Chain A
């Protein structure tokens, strides 16, 4: 495999965008994660606790 650095753009910093970014980065891609709000986290960051373990969302 050639060693050229591959770049991926992820649009949206909610739980899906964060997970996709981490996975891609772990695979060796360089990820650019764009989020329109001042911080990432999306809707999930607004949740108190999550099913099924009732653990904190953040």
Chain B
């Protein structure tokens, strides 16, 4: 990714926008650069600190399926390529804070990473920095939130072992994931200090579509991309291991667009089964494995099947954190909670000079997000240049 190297891009990662004042052509933005407790200009990203860090916490990049240390890189190829200390996990920061407050120091001091770091980049006393930037226009690309399917109690997420979300499954499939790409059942390794030897591979997979989407109780909209990501995940799992049996349960498969239907047909020809029906319930079977209860609407029978892993295609929802910021900016949301736009100005928000692209304005897959981003960029250029011509004319 060229963003980190581009001479005309200032990358402010681990930062949040606090306040925006002004209008198109003259916005003043206040940004909080959160303390990494690591000097970005010194850290070489060697990773010696994380190797020796004694504190392990669930890894949010791997959706909690693996562990990381208190000093970490969000993911291996992450840009910027520097380490960050999680202040809520680091023993030494907790010790320093407790000492400063004069409260009972219950934690042991540590300081190992500071000793290990040859670049002298560790700075436990680093503070958040507030910076100001003057900008002509703003693009919101704040993304979406994956629905936590815990609320849909009949699907047993969080209760029935091996019922996981699609994004968790992506991490299981990934060579950079917690299992190095081996498809193991999460119940066999999550929470263990290391992955046991000779684990059985998961062979039977169920993909459940429309989890929270197209469901009046949660969100009525279609999340758009889940049919395709489930098909993709099923194909990849089968490419990993030809013995994998994958079943996709859904009301209908929405493979809309060039190449999409062909992809679905390819899945079918590989032996992936498509079951037309909405899954009613997922229960824990006798062997502790998830059992999917469903009506096959083609045979009009209520049936049940046991699987190794059940993957829930949970809904694409408006991001709650982003909504707080967006409301602070005086930008309106639509009835779904995504950022409001107009049919003939699809990337303009309700506030002049602020634009939007990607899933912040509604569900979009990757190619569509990219196309929208380029469109929004063109729209920004149009507006900013028009304003500057006006200024020159005056």
Contacts and interface: CB of A to CB of B under 8 A. Distances in A.
Q: Do A and B bind each other?
A: yes
Interface of A: 1-2, 4, 6-25, 27-52, 54, 58
Given A31-B8, A51-B263, 8 more contacts: A9-B17, A9-B135, A12-B141, A13-B141, A30-B8, A32-B9, A52-B263, A54-B239
A12 B6 contact: no
A11 B376 CA distance: 13
Contacts of A30: 8, 10
Contacts of A28: 8
B174 A12 contact: no
B140 interface: yes
The 8 closest A-B pairs by CB, nearest first: A16-B358, A39-B78, A17-B141, A19-B373, A23-B377, A12-B141, A25-B8, A16-B141
A23 B181 CA distance: 34
A7 B141 contact: no
Nearest to A58: B77
23 contacts: A2-B392, A9-B133, A9-B135, A12-B143, A14-B141, A15-B369, A16-B143, A17-B141, A18-B1, A20-B376, A20-B380, A27-B381, A29-B384, A32-B9, A35-B11, A37-B13, A41-B75, A45-B61, A48-B170, A48-B171, A48-B236, A49-B232, A54-B236
A43 to B, nearest CB: 7
Contacts of A51: 228-229, 231-232, 263, 365
A43 B144 CA distance: 9
Contacts of B388: 1-2, 4, 6
A13 B342 CA distance: 24
Nearest to A54: B236
Contacts of A19: 369-370, 373-374, 377
Contacts of A13: 3, 11, 13, 141
A8 B13 contact: no
Contacts of B15: 34-36
Contacts of A48: 170-171, 173-175, 177, 181, 233, 236
A7 B135 contact: yes
Contacts of B21: none
A46 B360 contact: no
Given A41-B79, A52-B263, A47 B170 contact: yes
Q: Is the interface of B mostly helix, strand, loop or mixed?
A: mixed
A29 B74 contact: no
B14 A20 contact: no
B372 interface: yes
A41 B231 CA distance: 23
Contacts of A7: 133-136
Contacts of B82: 38
A36 B392 CA distance: 37
A31 B9 contact: yes
B139 A39 contact: no
Contacts of A23: 373-374, 377-378
A10 B113 CA distance: 33
B232 A22 contact: no
A23 B135 CA distance: 16
B222 interface: no
A54 B235 contact: yes
